Structure 1
């Protein structure tokens, strides 16, 4: 009996110790959040200055600075499809002072690269999803093609005649194009470009029969009478193209994932700090002027909290991997 009592007493002490330490950690986390940030915050954009991600990062950084009462410094660390910037943040101190503007390649890169400097799920704490992008399938208005069904029919009748331009090899658009080939058993020839700008230049110049630009890059051309939009990727229609159906509406599968922009922090960042940032971002994204700004960029405002972003990343990573395998897509 004495041994049993001694064992129970030991277990009680251990339980109390764990409870005290847990409470101390919670209090420390709350204290960190109340004083956060006490220094400038660095928002890493993993792409070069001047692109769509940079525009989103700088706009969002300015809004965050207003709410946080601290300077938000934008750091462009481009290269390797965003992997260099992501790796930098993955190895940063988890104090909430170094954040990453996460984008779709964060979860796509592991499909194509084995030796990444980060693990998309182990090395980051999702904070919030901000906005969604989509790929837009366009054809020349002069083609007379009015629907995706008509395009597929034309491609089947004329194998090898149709090509499609994308903003790069192994991108979302590339996977969407090959998925269309696979699901409809057609042969659209892929022509990759280094970004949407040169893609649109050749499309408008009559050198492409199909374009698959991203919604941000094609936004400025949507009123051009030379093009006709037939379908968009994602779960919902774009605000800038309300009359253009999604691939899903048209009966296609695995076109549901959107491109996305969000904020992630290094793994181990205090939950209290993550929650504070997520709450601030929710308020920012609820403002009509902010929503209008994102729509003007060709994006759909799409706030999601930390858990929603994590679930979204996990779901979409599986779909992107499946798409890459079906299309036999490899980095060239």
Structure 2
């Protein structure tokens, strides 16, 4: 009798497990979401990630924990994502060229595009060059003239080696013939501190970082490497393009949400849906209005589809002046 009762209990339990089945998109998300930002606190990527995380928390109904994993120009954070369980509960926010640059310029890339999947783009911002007002530079021409008068002395800071801002700085240096130092700072936060302390003569960072300081007259915008027509600060829309000084490239970083490879397709689709809802939310819209640019929507499929060509473009177009 006891044996029969035990068998009945086990059978009932197994039936219950079979009915429950594995977690699916219907259940997703049902737990905390980990959102990696592969840079230190204080920069533009960190600000965007935290605003997006708050919006994602609203639309998903689950807690979203933002985790800064800086180091190696964003590579450490992407490796953490690569090695995460492919269940949809670990995602990352990063720019497309920040992910593709190591594939284009490193002899032994730390990862492959196939290690990741995409949940959609959320933001697109051009790079711009700024300088402390005390330096007296009104535009990029003033900076280049000063650099030619003091060869090898001036410093143009960037957010990191082989970053979008590094491409801008290196191309300006290579096409202008001016001799100045291009110094990477390992993230927007550290560069921001250096620019505000006037420890560099100018810095390349992604707009609209520094917008409040520019509005207050503490910093000057010297040039931009992309279209400024959508910035909500009207005076900045007239910023001259770096091509006016011979650097004929367009550099605007598309930031998106990344997932590890192997996430079930239905969970990927659900996360993409949540990403779309989050960037349309009132809180993220308000963030964009205060930050300077609105959201830039792109599906996960479209975001991922453009990456192989970006790797080739980096190799053939932007590599001419970049020092590895």
TM bracket, shorter-chain basis: 0.7 to 0.9
**How far is 1:123 from its partner?**
0.8
Alpha-carbon spacing, 1:325–1:92, altered in 2? closer, same or farther (3 Å): same
295 and 329 in structure 1: CA distance in 2 versus 1, 3 angstrom threshold: farther
The residue number in structure 1 matching 2:219 is: 227
- 1:83 aligned partner: 75
Moved more, 306-315 or 125-134: 306-315
Query: After TM superposition, where is structure 1 displaced by more than 6 Å over at least 4 residues in a row?
Result: none
Instruction: Spell out the pairing of 1:273-312 with structure 2 (5 A cutoff).
Output: 273-287=267-281, 289-312=283-306
Question: How far apart, in 2, do the equivalents of 1:311 and 1:235 lie?
Answer: 23
Aligned with 2:35 (options 29, 32, 43): 43
User: 2:306 and 2:294 mapped to 1: Cα distance?
Assistant: 16
Is the Cα contact below 8 Å between 2:82 and 2:116 reproduced in 1? yes
CA contact (8 A) 1:166 1:174 kept: yes
Gaps of 5+ in 1: 1-27
Whole-angstrom CA distance in 1 between matches of 2:289 and 2:309 = 25
What's the TM-score, normalizing by structure 1?
Answer: 0.74
Distance 2:227 2:177 in 1: 23
Name 1:269's counterpart in structure 2.
Answer: 263
172-181 vs 151-160, which deviates more? 151-160
How far 1:132 moved relative to its partner? 2.3
Cα pair 1:282 1:303 within 8 Å, conserved: yes
Q: Which residue of 2 aligns with 1:22?
A: none
Contact 2:54 2:64 in 1 (8 A): yes
Partners of 2:281 and 2:162 lie apart in 1 by: 35
Which structure 2 segments of 5+ residues have no match?
A: 1-20
Cα deviation, residue 211, structure 1: 2.7
Q: Secondary structure at the match of 2:204?
A: coil
Q: Deviations over 1:189-218 (max 9, x none)?
A: 324445445545554555544332333542
In 1, distance between residues paired with 2:156 and 2:122? 29
Alignment CA distance shift 1:316-1:245 (3 Å):
farther
Tell me the TM-score normalized by structure 2. Answer: 0.76
More displaced stretch, 225-234 vs 300-309: 225-234
* 1:232, distance to aligned residue in structure 2 (A): 1.6
What is aligned with 2:101?
Answer: 108
Counterparts of 2:252 and 2:101, CA distance in 1: 12
The yes-or-no answer on 1:60 pairing with 2:52 is yes
How far residue 159 of structure 1 moved from its aligned partner, in angstroms, is 4.9
Higher relative contact order (CA 8 A, sep 6+): 2
Q: 2:174 aligns with which of 173, 176, 182?
A: 182
Partner of 1:123 in structure 2?
A: 115
1:93 equivalent to 2:85? Answer yes
CA RMSD of aligned residues (A): 3.4
Distance apart, 1:89 and its partner CA: 1.9
Map of 1:327 onto structure 2: 321
C-alpha separation between the residues in 2 aligned to 1:76 and 1:206?
A: 26
